[in-house]
Amino acid sequence: MIELLVTIAVIAVLLGVSAPALQSVRRNSISAHCRARLASIGLMHATYASEHQDRYPTFEYPLDLAGVADPILAPEWGAGGGGWLVLPISEIWFWGYQLRPYAAEDPETEVMRTVEALSCPVVHNEWITSLPPEQLDGAVRDPMQPIQNSYVRSAALFTRASAWDDSAPPPDVNAEHAPVRVSEMAFPSSKAVLVEASSHHSRSRVRLESASVEQVNILAADGHIERGRVVDALAPVGFVGASTGFEQPPIARDRWIDTGLPYISTRHGHLGRDW
């Protein structure tokens, strides 16, 4: 009996010692899967740019009667002839729709595969399991609920560089909208394209705006994947803009506007560095 109790105690101690290490290995494995997903999305960006005059993917806004792009209303996007309010600031979250044709052979019929290809594996799996089966198809097809929010997109990719100048006031992302060319990126190896919205693969999921030592996965403009800490990013800049919604006029302000967001709104736009 004593030998049995000693054996059980030794096993319990070994399990207690090895459990944290196993959890760390599991987190690293999931993080590697996420980095592979980001690398795949980087290839989609490169393919898109090669087919669209070297431009990063951005929303294609309808033209008004004067032939000027109208970023406010895109009536042809709504189901059944309805309309969306489509604002440039929304590209921070709704970045994935221009890449859907590159995520699956037929994104209209392979909806789930398309969404998964543009999402963090952890967030996607949790989202799938949290939805009742009868709501899943509708939620996937609803453009106002993109699972791609697991990654956020740099505002430098769709904003004029002059808007982020040191002497300028906080940039108006809606008014200063301008698609950026890949060849215009000044420091592609230290400029973020997509960043995890939270440290999904760490013990504590800290949101990107927190001054945290937790690491997040980053897709750099040159296509490589970086592991960076939020506190190591250069200081973000606040910006002005309104979120997508059905307000008339669209005046919903986002909570990140006043202080900016690390890796997303760094000074000097695509002509500067994020880290």
Give pLDDT, residue 125.
Answer: 82
- Supply 54's token pair: 């070297």
Give pLDDT, residue 247.
Answer: 52
pLDDT in tens, 126-178: 877 877 776 666 666 655 455 557 899 999 999 999 889 886 778 888 888 88
Q: What does each C-alpha distance from 39 to 124, 136, 155, 168 come to in angstroms?
A: 17, 27, 20, 34
Query: How sure is the predictor about 77, in pLDDT bands with cuts at 50, 70 and 90?
Result: very low
Give the C-alpha separation, 91 to 66, whole Å: 24
| pTM across the whole model | 0.80
Q: What does each C-alpha distance from 41 to 107, 117, 144, 235, 249 come to in angstroms?
A: 15, 8, 21, 26, 34
Give the C-alpha separation, 22 to 99, whole Å: 36
